[in-house]
Amino acid sequence: DLDISNLDNVEKRLDTIFRYKTKYKAITIDEILSRLATLNAELQAIDNQDKNRAALELELKKEKESLKKIAATLTQLRQDAAQKLSQEIIKEMAFLKFESCQFDIQIQTDFERPNLLGCDTIAFYVSTNAGSKPKLLSDVASGGELSRMMLAIRSVFAEQLLQSTAIFDEIDAGVGGLTAIKIGEKLQALSQKSQLF
């Protein structure tokens, strides 16, 4: 017996299957069903997006707090080390005849903008004349002075910079007498641990 309504339903079903095969570039019913599962999963992810976002924001907040604590510890260690390091660099610079030198390590902290090295921006400030206010090292020193200051800094870090290479450009410019002797002594001592040009 031919059931016209049943035949019509089957034809509609086959037409639907054909359209889905064309739309999703599928060959079999299983591929269409697999695509349906994928689309359902994507739809569920979209529906859960607000919940997921809230969870991720909470996790991000916890991680930021943890990062701030670690960064604060690092900042404190840097501030403690900066005091000691400044004194050691001043001592080395006095040896190189920067006798009224001031050397200051300034640390600025921004906990809202951390990077791979923490939350600190570190700058070296120096004054080579008595009574003058320390200024940013890169703004103050001439080529020869900068080389002498670098020699003082590298002398402080000599043990940590073993087997390294250093270039001291114009280190002898404008110096003579006792200053030249002191520079020579410091270069000779440093050359035992590093390669110097």
Span 88-100, mean pLDDT? 87
- Average pLDDT, rounded, for the chain: 85
Determine if residue 148 is left, alpha or beta; phi over 0 gives left, psi from -120 to 50 gives alpha, anything else beta.
Answer: alpha
In which band, very low, low, confident or very high, does the pLDDT at 170 lie, cut at 50, 70 and 90?
confident
> What is the Cα 108 distance to its own chain's centre?
15
Cβ atoms within 10 Å, residue 140: 18
Q: Is the pLDDT of residue 121 over 80?
A: yes
Beta strands (DSSP E) in 59-161 are 102-109, 120-127, 135-136
In the prediction, which pLDDT does 147 show? 83
